[in-house]
């Protein structure tokens, strides 16, 4: 097994047809806790549209290569494409669009429920998306720090480095003596190539 951990951002899913945040324009600010509170119906309409795109998207060669080489993945993406490609135990630090939850009934529901109503049938509470919104704290933070700091090399893929979360993970790994590689363009070709070269040296 390669002693490598991948940290992935929107760029890895570009070839799968998932738009990056920059391309989504003002959507970014609408995926915030404040917007969810103020305009829950509009919020869920946006999320439902996004989920439709995500559900029809397929993993590309970069996702598949990471899964085939069993590289542990920390991802900023909510598109679930690493899991779809066969990666196990992916640390989705921003959550995913697999389900919504009624926090009062402690029950999870599929998005088909949201299409009918954004409020729980059982108790009337608003459904909580399983997604980290701007204004929320991220998931698996310490787990990700530990994972990225415990390997020999980290491969950062498709992140603009503007997200502070990625910087925190990368900086702490670097301080732990981990070698950092970055692939920011053409991930669907560059990632399989990188992994192939690494395997041939191992």
Smallest distance from the beta carbon of 118 to Zn ion, in angstroms? 12
Q: Confirm or reject binding of residue 27 to Zn ion (CB under 5 A).
A: no
Query: What number of chain residues touch Zn ion (CB under 5 A)?
Result: 7
User: Which parts of 101-120 interact with Zn ion (CB under 5 A)?
Assistant: 102, 104-105, 120
Name residues contacting Zn ion, limited to 119-158 (CB under 5 A): 120, 122-123, 125
- Shortest distance in whole angstroms from residue 92 CB to Zn ion: 24
Active site residue 94: yes
CB of 113 to Zn ion, least distance (A): 11
Catalytic residue among 82, 94, 109, 140: 94
Residues 155-184 contacting Zn ion, CB under 5 A: none
In terms of CB distance, is 31 or 118 closer to Zn ion? Answer: 118
Whether 127 and 119 have beta carbons less than 8 Å apart is answered as yes
Nearest approach, Cβ of 104 to Zn ion (angstroms)? 5
The smaller minimum CB distance to Zn ion, of residues 58 and 125, is found at: 125
CA distance 169 to 141: 9
Query: Where in the sequence numbering do the catalytic residues fall?
Result: 94
Q: By CB under 5 A, name the binding residues for Zn ion.
A: 102, 104-105, 120, 122-123, 125
């Amino acid at each position: 097994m390669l002693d490598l951990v991948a940290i992935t951002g929107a760029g890895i899913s570009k070839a799968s047809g998932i738009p990056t945040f920059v391309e989504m324009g003002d959507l970014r600010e609408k995926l915030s806790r404040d917007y969810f509170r103020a305009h829950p119906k509009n919020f869920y309409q946006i999320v439902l549209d996004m989920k439709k795109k995500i559900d029809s998207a397929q993993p590309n060669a970069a996702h598949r290569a990471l899964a085939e080489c069993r590289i542990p993945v920390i991802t900023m993406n909510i598109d679930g494409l690493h899991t779809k490609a066969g990666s196990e135990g992916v640390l989705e630090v921003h959550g995913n669009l697999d389900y919504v939850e009624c926090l009062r009934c402690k029950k999870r529901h599929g998005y088909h429920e949201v299409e009918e109503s954004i409020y729980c049938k059982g108790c009337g509470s608003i459904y909580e998306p399983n997604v980290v919104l701007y204004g929320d704290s991220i998931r698996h933070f310490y787990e990700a720090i530990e994972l990225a700091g415990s390997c020999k090399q980290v491969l950062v893929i498709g992140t603009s480095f503007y997200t502070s979360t990625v910087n925190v993970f990368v900086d702490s790994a670097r301080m732990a003596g981990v070698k950092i590689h970055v692939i920011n363009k053409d991930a669907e070709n560059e990632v399989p190539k990188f992994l192939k070269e690494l395997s041939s040296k191992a």
